[in-house]
Chain A
Amino acid sequence: MSSTQLSSEEIAEDYRSSLEDLAFNSRYEISNLTVIAKENIHAAQAIARTIEEHITKTSPNRKLPALYLLDSVAKNVGTPYTLFFQRDLYSTFMNAYSKVEPSVRRKLEEMLHTWKQPVPNSSSSNPVFSSEVTRKIDNALIKARTAALQHQQKQMKQQSQDPKAYNRSIATPPPPQLLPQYKNTPPPVANGPSQYMNGQSYDYGNNGQGVYGRNTVGYRREYPTMQPSAHSTGHSSVDTLLGDISGLIEVSQKRFAEDPLNQEIQKRLKALLDLKAILQTQQLPPAQLALVREQVTRLANPTPPPAQDLAALLATATQNQPLVVPPPPPPPPPAPTPLLPSALPNLFAPSGDAASLFASLRKAGLLPRPPANIPPPPPPPPTGLPPFLFPIPGSNFTPPPIPPQIPIRQGKLDWRSIDVEMNTMSLKIPRPHLLPLLNEALPNQCSSCARRFADSEAGKKEKASHLDWHFRVHQRMAESVKRGQNRSWYLGEEEWIKSRDDGEDSSSLAPNPNSHPNSGNNAIGVSSSSSSNPNSSSNNPDPKDQYVIISDPSKTRAVCPICQEELKYEWHDESEEFVFMDAKQVGARIYHASCHAEASKDTAAGNSSRGTTPPDSGSGGKRKAEGDSGGPRVKVKREVHI
């Protein structure tokens, strides 16, 4: 695509058509498109506009790759692209954000975060995009989350008052302070799983890529467990307050992360954490609650986010694509979200004593503890508190289980909340609040090998397949006693580079070394039938003799995508497994080895255009379709650092 003589329009048009192909998050396509953008820098304005338009127009499930492209161009090419993008970044980003799945939203948020930082490995310390733009987006996002949370809380309240009102609450318009557009948007929770599922299958049914499916399912299941936890009416105001405080804590944590030296933020964070502990452990008289509430409101005040823009945006989103619009961003359940002043009902009259209360809280904050994200497992009693305000009960200080404040999803922690810096001093500070991430965050432990899994749908699934693996190995161990066993040969460089899962996941594939009969760790292994004969480990086994081991008994039928004929399923004596004969696995697909050999010969003969096969195979096992037995012996490439 080196078309320097072409006009900007033509380049943009070309670019637009290439963008149409960007359906997955394919690194190759993205870097390719980035290179094109770089080569045609004279048409930067047109290309930038094309990308923006594409992001706006394309279907929600293609927005993420498109935004990744924007990200890649901005980071790798830089100006003038950043300048062009910056102009409309807010609307481009928010428009996309409003239309995508919650899981994708998180990805977008993560990306946004990187925009606030300098480009990795660059000499300049300027952020990718100017902080003005990113802050504006940040504010809008906070606003959106607030609204969502508020909505959710309202439902929880109603529900706790009258379980039967559960369904009605969907239709109830949100309170006046809420953003109006939520009337139209499906509420995050109460909609019931079925509709949510529908929306989901609409979204992903087309391309059959259940990529985000797992996340969403995990979410959906978690909500019901959240709801019953809504307390009786008497507690709900405390709960709301706790929610608000958690939100503020998160905001402060973020600020603290940005500016760890700011004493003011440190103090506030500590005060908030203590306040939270108190609220969780003690029953406060309503009057005091009101004081606290007032103070919290005031604390939250200094950063009023722009309300209108998002409202308008979300409203348009609902109009444009009523079916596809996912619920307003439900905050990840364990992660508390900031709740801003507008969220607080003005039921409690402000009291003059509020300031003094805050002062005392601040004092309380000056505990000699490093700023912690969550109170360590046995939280230190807030001894510094003025006793007249909050009498501390005896030693029986066991707080109720609180949602971990470091957002954890599927056992992966959110790195943003990690407050460890890579320097000798920072590493020495004990951080008991991080420890749960290693253990308690993954509570679901395998009893035979102590491997941990997340307490989520995905985690359970993983564990189930892990237990299957144990079972299979156990079975094979019993069988294998009779047979002699040998050490296998090590992989060659190329095989090693291509090998994927050295693990046990049944969904994963590992190309075994030729002379390495499947060692029982991969449900599906690829090997040549000449396995046990090291002499024939040369490069070109007859395709007819290749086979793919199938250990999943439900997959006994498969059709070769090339010739559309069924693969032959049979017992293979040598490997003592059921296999597809004359078969070859590439990515998630199984071809006739002979068909594939033919086909790859053809493509190899053709020009060396970029691979058209997207590297993503939905199963998580990412293997590239290239590099078969016929390939060059060693293909090692030197990594280029930009």
Chain B
Amino acid sequence: MSVPGLQLSELPIGQPFSNFTAQDSTPAEPLSEQTYEIAKFREWRFEVAFGATVEVKLLKGSAEIFGTELPIGHKFTFTGIKSAIFTWQGCALEVRGSPSVEYTSEETPMTTYTNLHFALEKQRGMADESPTAQGPRVMIIGPENAGKTSLVKILTAYAVRQGRKPAVVNLDPKEGVLSLPGTLSATSFSTIMDVEEGFGSSPTSGPSPVPVKLPLVYYYGLETPEGNAKLYKALVSRMAVAVSSRLSEDDQNRSSGIIIDTPGTISQTPAGYDLLHHAITEFSITTLVVLGSERLYSDMLRRFEDRPNHQHQPPPISIIKLSKSGGCVDRDDAFLRASRERSIREYFFGEPKKRTLSPYTMTVGFDDLNIWRVSEASTLNASLLPIGHDDDEEDGGGGGGQALLVQAECSMLLQHSVAAVLHAEVGDEAHVLAESSVMGFVYIASVDEQKRYMKILAPMPGRLPPKPLVVSSFPEPTFSLVG
């Protein structure tokens, strides 16, 4: 793989990669092959470590991964994943390679999940009838590793299967949807998801065997919403407006409604509840699904049950309690970190063996760059502020309270970070920039403070667009991307 760029061509770009592919190519041939017969209504759960690969082929019957059906005879390759294949009718799977964990479970919450889908479908049908009615807007909340994202996938996949076009909103910066971690995004789904990739991948210049989805991405740059609550709220509000506009423009989107994934941490602290409340209001949530937490459920009941008395008269919210799937597994930090690293790598270089992308390296002088950093001193800041100067108060203007973005110096600190390129103009004010959507990402490969330039890896050839960049601490700098 040669990089048409500068000196980077001599850097072993494929190196971290080959690290990773090396392991799966060595035991490539003597992969163990096994056939599993899965009885109906059961789920085959499996985990594949990073560095290992497992190929799964559906031989007969029907099977789905988080709601998305697998075609018969097609080989799917998984790596670094914890997933499950469910069957309504029974199926036979051919599995090559050895998953690190693998078992079949009889107990699944699929009945409830499917019922939830049908209940939503009913509301969508209702919304179809009147040009002014709104489709269901459902938000999934719950502690970490409760299966929120999986449920979102299932609901989305079923809706798509039935010809719907839901808008899927990810408010969890920990994992990106069609984007990098550290971002919030909204996507209208009308086509099948890529089961190997989670939700799929964002568009490239080439063709894609699975229809691409176009996400609307906002950069948050921190791991938890509490990191900069003000920025988080601003982005949520902004996205809610954009999504609502989209829904009002497209009838199918309107009646299909919204499915929202949320971060696990948000459901655990009072500050989180506040953010949650904000998001629920902004998106005019109609159904709140609480996954795997009795306490959260009762807290939510308390918070929203007496809502009709509220002066704005928001539509009533149905609050649903669902139990966590037995298949949910904790993903440790190492796993999540590896996932993040992979998604960054795949953003620039594509998925191994599926699609090879060629990013470009370029040298940019410090003076040509306009770099900002997400302000991150939430707790620190609050304690430094005079008493009574509460930054929870939304004074919108960006005047008081915590700053959203601050101008960043070009320095070694930026090295190995991923920076977001904003759909904004240099010279825009900080609060405008903070709410701007993301155009893409660049990777700061190296910084030369003496000569005042940095080497940047950009997804596309040509000059770097003269747009403001934002950096932050999450996802953490990766060293493995280019040398």
Residues of A within 8 A of B (CB): 25, 27, 30-31, 68, 71-72, 75-76, 107, 110-111, 113-114, 120-121, 123, 410-416, 418, 420-424, 426-431, 434-435, 437-439, 442, 445-452, 469, 472-474, 476-477, 480, 483-493, 496-504, 510, 512, 515-517, 519-521, 532-535, 537, 622, 624, 636-639, 641-642
B463 touches A534 (CB 8 A): yes
Looking at the complex, which of B14-22, B158-166, B324-332 is the stretch in contact with chain A? Answer: B158-166
B206 touches A520 (CB 8 A): yes
Number of residues of chain B lying within 8 A (CB) of chain A: 104
B318 touches A422 (CB 8 A): yes
B206 touches A535 (CB 8 A): no
Q: Which residues of A contact B202 (CB under 8 A)?
A: 487-488, 490
Interface centre among A451, A488, A490, A535 (most CB of B within 10 A): A490
A534 touches B462 (CB 8 A): yes
Interface centre among A121, A415, A639 (most CB of B within 10 A): A415
Known pairs A424-B322, A487-B202, A637-B245 / 12 extra A-B pairs, C-beta < 8 Å = A434-B115, A435-B114, A438-B117, A476-B207, A487-B357, A489-B440, A501-B190, A502-B191, A503-B211, A516-B203, A521-B208, A535-B463
Question: Which of B128, B207, B423 has a CB less than 8 Å from the CB of A493?
Answer: B423
Give the residue name and chain of the A residue nearest to B201 (CB): A487
Q: Which residues of A contact B318 (CB under 8 A)?
A: 422-423
B122 touches A438 (CB 8 A): no
A497 touches B465 (CB 8 A): no
* B482 to A: closest C-beta gap in Å: 15
B103 at the interface (CB under 8 A from A): no
B207 touches A431 (CB 8 A): no
Looking at the complex, which of B213-221, B262-270, B386-394 is the stretch in contact with chain A? Answer: B213-221
**B120-167 contacts to A (CB < 8 Å):** 120-126, 128-133, 158, 161-163
Give the residue name and chain of the B residue nearest to A641 (CB): B284
A490 touches B217 (CB 8 A): yes
Are A490 and B440 also in contact (CB < 8 A) when A420-B119, A438-B161, A473-B208 are? Answer: yes
Are A537 and B131 also in contact (CB < 8 A) when A480-B207, A491-B216, A493-B216 are? Answer: no
B462 touches A72 (CB 8 A): no
* B108 to A: closest C-beta gap in Å: 12
B250 at the interface (CB under 8 A from A): yes
Interface centre among A123, A496, A501 (most CB of B within 10 A): A496
Give the residue name and chain of the B residue nearest to A475 (CB): B207
Closest 4 CB pairs of A and B: A415-B125, A520-B207, A485-B206, A487-B459
A516 touches B205 (CB 8 A): yes
Distance of A427 Cα from B242 Cα, bound (Å): 31
B479 at the interface (CB under 8 A from A): no
B94 at the interface (CB under 8 A from A): no
Distance of A451 Cα from B238 Cα, bound (Å): 34
B204 at the interface (CB under 8 A from A): yes
Are A27 and B131 also in contact (CB < 8 A) when A488-B203, A516-B203 are? Answer: yes
* A163 to B: closest C-beta gap in Å: 38
Give the residue name and chain of the A residue nearest to B287 (CB): A422
B204 touches A438 (CB 8 A): no
Question: Which of A30, A412, A503, A515 has a CB less than 8 Å from the CB of B191?
Answer: A503
Q: Which residues of A contact B88 (CB under 8 A)?
A: 435, 438-439
A-B contact count (CB 8 A): 300
Q: Which residues of A contact B129 (CB under 8 A)?
A: 107, 110-111, 113-114
B214 touches A499 (CB 8 A): yes
Distance of A534 Cα from B440 Cα, bound (Å): 11
A486 touches B357 (CB 8 A): yes
24 chain-A/chain-B pairs, Cβ below 8 angstroms? A31-B131, A68-B131, A76-B132, A111-B130, A120-B133, A412-B125, A415-B125, A427-B119, A429-B115, A435-B88, A437-B162, A480-B206, A487-B350, A487-B359, A493-B423, A496-B216, A497-B249, A502-B189, A503-B190, A517-B205, A520-B207, A535-B466, A636-B238, A639-B245
B132 touches A519 (CB 8 A): no
B111 at the interface (CB under 8 A from A): yes
Distance of A126 Cα from B460 Cα, bound (Å): 59
Distance of A490 Cα from B187 Cα, bound (Å): 11
B303 at the interface (CB under 8 A from A): no
B213 touches A486 (CB 8 A): no
B44 at the interface (CB under 8 A from A): no
* A264 to B: closest C-beta gap in Å: 24
Question: Which of B179, B320, B358, B439 has a CB less than 8 Å from the CB of A427?
Answer: B320
Distance of A487 Cα from B206 Cα, bound (Å): 9
Are A114 and B130 also in contact (CB < 8 A) when A431-B115, A442-B161, A519-B208 are? Answer: yes
B348 at the interface (CB under 8 A from A): yes
B213 touches A502 (CB 8 A): yes
Give the residue name and chain of the A residue nearest to B358 (CB): A484
Interface string of B162-193 (1 = CB under 8 A from A): 11000000000000000100000011111110
Distance of A496 Cα from B128 Cα, bound (Å): 23
B241 touches A636 (CB 8 A): yes
Are A504 and B320 also in contact (CB < 8 A) when A411-B162, A427-B115 are? Answer: no
